[in-house]
Structure 1
């Protein structure tokens, strides 16, 4: 990536560096107490990361609250356009957080228009990005406003994915079906979402909650979510109509409440009964009480906006079997399939869901056992600890030092980096290596020739291929080597001059342009042409500098 600048670490021993906490800055849409699947997951993830030793912080939309921790920055929203919050202060707040916190990774949660601000903030572009792809932006062909807005949104979305180091999808089916991700599958990995263990205090409060709404129903069905079109609550309401022994409770609030209330009345008059209650927004304790007291959980979403169905994991944690939509490209059926205790049915097919309810009534005695199996599956496969561990591995893979895991600390304190541009110079590298076995050599292969890689491997010369990394990553590797291995001398030169190092320091004279930049604290070099000789303090200063790379030219900026 042309303009990605990577910074070196402070000079420490490897042991000290391992103890330093990794600094990660999340850019989210909202944060609890705002309710939503993305928001709940972000809160659980940050809590787990901080418990695991990662210094995780976040910048999100919303009004600051008195009890907000110091690591959480909320930016007030001026207006919401087509479900997108607009906070005019967000770019400044993000820039300020980066300047103060100096994160080593940005974790951008999508969909989220605020995640586009790093594209125009230079300091943000110098940091590796992880894009957490919670959902595509799904546009209905009848929604002309949203369709027009997405045409403006899409180019930024593409740039964001292009610049990212890694993309995290929430399930294999969603990863395979997401159209925006298809160009970037080579750097996309599916990491299932997870939840933290149930809160003991809230569970105790849940036991005191009144759940008399169930009445005398033989089969208690629960569904939870915002009252909106894609959730498919209308399918559930129509499916339970006529079952006098079934009670459906729906927890959540939203713009479709009046439509759903009208549907309940129509089904009640048509079928004689429709035991459905809309409970509105409920507290966490009450939600837990509803999960504990239901027999089965239902999620009838009809669109891939329901990308994963985190609420299914909540139900499984409470030991409840699930029925969900068998929706192509969504993670819902995959999550239920992983538990091995639920069933999936075609979205919007009322008769199919009616049959599901009839089968659940007949198998009522087996539901408790199926719920226990679901609970074990949730504990084994969908915990926030497991999710956090896999995400941490992604962060750690950004370390440029991982590009050459077999590097060993040489007895000498000098590091030589030779830029190979001609196959014939490999013999010179071998000759120098044989004459200086105690000095560490790293070859930067700029030839692009497969034969070079083979010959260098045969000669046991540590190699970084420009075709794989690019100059910015090569420099980051060298910076980390200097910092972590404690080298006090560094030489970067063309491979054909490897046997002529003695005269390099004497014959290198900066031109007027280099002298001018030097007065400003900036070093300018043409990689592969200008030899670089650094000793002692100059070496450690270079390892701490920020580097900007354009083609084969590099600018080093003192901090």
Structure 2
């Protein structure tokens, strides 16, 4: 009997930031590579510094089941020039690029030099703030369009991303970001929690005046803010909490591991986000898996999530008084079963079916040749 077995697929994931950096994109890639490690040889290519830090990280390191290769770059988070050799890229059978940035642009350009086929996941593109919007639009319609035209397949994480890609003639298929569900943690508490990156586009500071209005109605509530960010963003948030004179009611944490985060979620009833722009809303779905309800800024990604799940509330945190009043009115008539509805939706967004779709896409791309 022929005992020959085909070598495992060699997959390279490319993402600008990876642990020890913390964020939704980092979490997504970490979860994906762990699920692929049983059937593929998985490597992660990323930058050698966390944005906002000057500390160089190890050039090669094993994190869980993946080898992480870090490359030098010059620049900053919005625009950087990475130093990547095509020789490194030729070691793999397929390259999976995550998000649109200069790493994606450079590696797609290397297709002319015979590197393996590339696939792309959109992760919200790069319209997270209105800053430099005209430059971003020009970049998107020219460089990004050329970059994406070299990809064999493209996954959009939302219909919003798919529409934007269609505007520049790029076809994609929607695959919402899957989540690792929490156990049921909701116990009837009414505190709020935000977790994720502390950054300008997340508008975490806009939660403070909203929560002040909530406190006026119920002094026993708390708002937990969990996440890391640049020193400037963290300082701005700390000053906002201090000037609002709510240090006992708004409690800020840095990075928490999953066990500590679960303990905090257990004390809450709602996830809350005032983010001006989101690619999808992975944290909100994770919170729903624990039985929490999402209270969200009325942006296109959250509108889509609300429409699909039928759970939670959309608000305009730019008007904190009206937002708080609307929340309290909604909460007063809230049926308990909506927490179950939220969890049932989130459990349908778990990893196994998404990972299977991605693996099938890899097989199709490899079978079709370069």
Contact persistence 1:118–1:124 (CA under 8 A): no
Please state if 1:310 is matched with 2:287. Answer: no
Q: Secondary structure at the match of 1:295?
A: strand
For 2:342 and 2:137, the matched residues in 1 are separated by 38
For 1:174 and 1:120, the matched residues in 2 are separated by 22
Contact persistence 1:327–1:333 (CA under 8 A): yes
Please state if 1:59 is matched with 2:52. Answer: no
For 2:110 and 2:304, the matched residues in 1 are separated by 38
Please state if 1:33 is matched with 2:20. Answer: yes
CA spacing shift, 1:140–1:358, aligned 2, 3 Å: closer
Aligned to 1:257: 234
For 2:306 and 2:128, the matched residues in 1 are separated by 26
CA spacing shift, 1:84–1:183, aligned 2, 3 Å: closer
Give CA-to-partner distance per residue, 1:268-312, whole Å, 9 cap, x none.
49xxx9832222333333222212221111122112xx1111111
CA spacing shift, 1:182–1:23, aligned 2, 3 Å: farther
Correspondent of 1:224 among 195, 209, 212:
195
CA spacing shift, 1:259–1:100, aligned 2, 3 Å: closer
Give 1:85 shift: 4.9
For 1:164 and 1:347, the matched residues in 2 are separated by 38
Contact persistence 2:189–2:269 (CA under 8 A): no
Give 1:190 shift: 0.4
For 1:373 and 1:139, the matched residues in 2 are separated by 29
Please state if 1:109 is matched with 2:83. Answer: no
Regions of 4+ moved over 6 Å: none
Give CA-to-partner distance per residue, 1:27-62, whole Å, 9 cap, x none.
1112223211111100111111223x2333321123
Give 1:226 shift: 2.3
Aligned to 2:127: 138
Contact persistence 1:171–1:192 (CA under 8 A): yes
Correspondent of 1:99 among 86, 90, 115:
90
Contact persistence 1:110–1:134 (CA under 8 A): yes
For 2:355 and 2:155, the matched residues in 1 are separated by 12
Give 1:168 shift: 0.8
Give 1:386 shift: 1.5
Correspondent of 2:69 among 70, 74, 77:
74
Correspondent of 1:295 among 260, 269, 281:
269
Contact persistence 1:297–1:321 (CA under 8 A): yes
Contact persistence 1:194–1:383 (CA under 8 A): yes
Q: Secondary structure at the match of 1:157?
A: helix
For 2:45 and 2:166, the matched residues in 1 are separated by 25
Please state if 1:193 is matched with 2:193. Answer: no
Please state if 1:240 is matched with 2:225. Answer: no
Query: TM-score with structure 1 length normalisation?
Result: 0.56
CA spacing shift, 1:67–1:129, aligned 2, 3 Å: closer
Give CA-to-partner distance per residue, 1:338-388, whole Å, 9 cap, x none.
332212223523234202431365257x45x432322222112x1121111
| Cα RMSD for the two superposed structures | 3.4
Contact persistence 1:298–1:324 (CA under 8 A): yes
Contact persistence 1:232–1:348 (CA under 8 A): no
For 2:201 and 2:322, the matched residues in 1 are separated by 18
Q: Secondary structure at the match of 1:398?
A: helix
Please state if 1:184 is matched with 2:156. Answer: no
Greater Rg over alpha carbons, structure: 1
Contact persistence 1:219–1:361 (CA under 8 A): no
For 1:400 and 1:262, the matched residues in 2 are separated by 55
Give 1:129 shift: 1.8
Please state if 1:376 is matched with 2:344. Answer: yes
Aligned length: 352
Query: TM-score with structure 2 length normalisation?
Result: 0.81
Q: Secondary structure at the match of 1:193?
A: coil
Gaps of 5+ in 1: 1-12, 207-216, 402-475, 477-545, 547-559
For 1:184 and 1:236, the matched residues in 2 are separated by 38
Contact persistence 1:235–1:349 (CA under 8 A): no
Correspondent of 1:282 among 256, 274, 278:
256
For 2:27 and 2:316, the matched residues in 1 are separated by 28
Please state if 1:319 is matched with 2:291. Answer: yes
For 2:350 and 2:134, the matched residues in 1 are separated by 36
Q: Secondary structure at the match of 2:90?
A: helix
Q: Secondary structure at the match of 1:35?
A: coil
Q: Secondary structure at the match of 2:63?
A: coil
Please state if 1:346 is matched with 2:312. Answer: no
Q: Secondary structure at the match of 1:256?
A: helix
For 1:114 and 1:28, the matched residues in 2 are separated by 8
Q: How does 1:499-510 map to 2 (within 5 A)?
A: none
Contact persistence 1:129–1:166 (CA under 8 A): yes
For 1:247 and 1:310, the matched residues in 2 are separated by 23
Q: How does 1:156-555 map to 2 (within 5 A)?
A: 156-176=143-163, 178=164, 180-185=165-170, 187-198=171-182, 219-241=190-212, 242-243=216-217, 244-254=219-229, 255-268=232-245, 275-303=249-277, 306-328=278-300, 330=301, 332-359=302-329, 361-363=331-333, 366-367=335-336, 369-380=337-348, 382-400=349-367
